[in-house]
Chains A and B, each alone.
Chain A
Amino acid sequence: MRRLILLLALLLVTPAVAQDDRGEQGTDRDALALGPDVERTMGPPPGPTLTGVALAARTDALAHVLRCPVCQGLSIADSPSESSRNMKRQVNAMIAAGYEDEQIVGYFETAYGEFVRMVPKPVGFNLFVWIIPGIALLGGLGLVGATVRRRTSPAQRAALPPAARQAARESDEALDPWLDQVREELTRGS
């Protein structure tokens, strides 16, 4: 029981510890300040400035499409790492200043490469990622369809031409010796 309580306490404390930043924090103004490189790379922000709930909602949505550079397959929204929190702060600052989502993703892509996108752009070699599942699905459906068509019902079989009916019957007769063998072995076994 004591171990369980300790484990629960640890689970409650761990996220709080993980949220501690190692770096210098600066002020709230620092967090919203854009580095001098941003405007030079992206040009002036085209949109209106944003604050409050709308800013938080857009930041969270955009944080889900950017990959954490120090994690395994996590977005910066899902990662508790300090790098992700810093990147999320930058996203927040850029949205607050009035930058469009695609501009912000482009800014991170300039620095980190296409790796930073959680979903790769559907161009060039990446197209395989988008096309192969569709082809595989169509191929699978085709295979199922062909198999179902081959397994015809007795009524359908009766409607077959005489030559085809004969071929089907011979195919069944070919199994008879095998079935006899199995029956015999089962009888012997019991």
Chain B
Amino acid sequence: MTTLDDDGFPEVPPPTLNLRALGIGLAVVVPLLILLGLGFGRDPHVMDKPLVGKQAPAFSMPRLSDGATISMEQLVGKPMVVNFWATWCVPCAQEHPNLVEAARRYGDDVQFVGIVYQDKNEAVEAWLDRHGGRAYPTLIDVNAKAAIAYGVYGVPETYFIGADGTILDKHVGPIPWPVLDEQVRKLGGKS
């Protein structure tokens, strides 16, 4: 029989803890929270670098200056800095003076190569004239075959390749001078 309280309402029985429901709820919620926590702990802007530590993909592309075909074999034997860039890419203009300076400073020890991505030859010529930088060879990546082989997401991206052809590191985005200087020194650049 239900008893009534002072106000005439049925008395509500004291709440009891349903351990079974609690156990099931925790079993569902806790793994989801863990997954969420793992997801939040990861920076979505950090790109995978699956090629780091592996042999750099071979390439063969026309050189902008004279159209001569330049292949990877011709460049291996010396550490390399390979920079993917384009004239329509604003951050590429920001980092360009750093690359030119590094090529002038370390060019005897390290080979610098620019690979132009999704761009027209005339636009590249005009851009280089405007930004005053022909310190290293520029290759034209027709149909972006080299960019695909290197897993380029977007420009600029810079690869640091050892003398044996192994990719040692990759920088995504415009490369600041201290980072570039440190990476080139690691490759063996001596100013």
B61 shortest CB reach to chain A, Å: 9
A127 shortest CB reach to chain B, Å: 13
In chain B, what residue has the closest Cβ to A21? B118
Q: Is the interface of A mostly helix, strand, loop or mixed?
A: helix
Task: Mark the stretch among B94-102, B126-134, B150-158 that contacts chain A.
Answer: B150-158
Q: Is the CB of B60 within 8 A of A173?
A: no
| Chain A CB within 8 A of B88 CB | yes
Cα-based distance from A112 to B151 in the complex (angstroms): 5
The digit string for A35-70, where 1 denotes a CB below 8 A from any CB of B, is: 111101100000000000000000000000000011
| Chain B CB within 8 A of A111 CB | yes
Tally of chain A residues near chain B (CB < 8 A): 40
Q: Is the CB of B119 within 8 A of A23?
A: yes
Cα-based distance from A18 to B143 in the complex (angstroms): 16
| Chain B CB within 8 A of A177 CB | yes
Best-buried of A24, A41, A83, A128 by chain B (most CB within 10 Å): A24
Contacts A110-B51, A111-B149, A181-B9 given; indicate if A174 touches B2 (C-beta within 8 A). Answer: yes
Cα-based distance from A23 to B147 in the complex (angstroms): 12
A39 shortest CB reach to chain B, Å: 9
| Chain B CB within 8 A of A102 CB | no
Residues of A within 8 A of B60 (CB): 35-36
Q: Is the CB of A82 within 8 A of B148?
A: no
Q: Is the CB of B118 within 8 A of A110?
A: no
Out of A30, A40, A70, name the residue touching B142 (CB < 8 Å).
A30
Q: Is the CB of B144 within 8 A of A83?
A: yes
Residues of A within 8 A of B120 (CB): 22-24
Q: Is the CB of A24 within 8 A of B10?
A: no
| Chain B CB within 8 A of A75 CB | no
| Chain B CB within 8 A of A117 CB | no
Cα-based distance from A109 to B117 in the complex (angstroms): 20
Q: Is the CB of A86 within 8 A of B72?
A: no
Out of B4, B149, B150, name the residue touching A177 (CB < 8 Å).
B4
Q: Is the CB of B50 within 8 A of A111?
A: yes
Q: Is the CB of B144 within 8 A of A23?
A: yes
| Chain B CB within 8 A of A113 CB | yes
Out of A24, A87, A181, name the residue touching B121 (CB < 8 Å).
A24
| Chain B CB within 8 A of A147 CB | no
Show 28 A/B contacts (Cβ-Cβ < 8 Å), sorted by A. A21-B118, A22-B86, A22-B88, A22-B120, A23-B117, A25-B142, A25-B143, A31-B143, A35-B58, A35-B60, A36-B60, A36-B71, A36-B72, A37-B59, A82-B118, A83-B118, A83-B147, A83-B154, A86-B143, A111-B148, A111-B149, A112-B153, A113-B151, A177-B2, A177-B4, A177-B10, A181-B9, A181-B10
Interface residues, chain B, CB within 8 Å of chain A?
A: 1-2, 4, 9-10, 28, 35, 48, 50-51, 54, 57-60, 71-72, 86, 88, 117-121, 140-151, 153-154
Extra A-B contacts (13), CB below 8 Å, given A36-B59, A69-B151, A174-B2: A21-B118, A22-B119, A23-B118, A23-B120, A24-B119, A26-B142, A36-B58, A83-B144, A90-B143, A111-B149, A111-B151, A139-B28, A173-B1
Nearest first, the 10 closest Cβ-Cβ pairs linking A and B are A111-B151, A113-B48, A37-B57, A23-B118, A86-B144, A26-B142, A177-B10, A36-B58, A35-B145, A113-B50
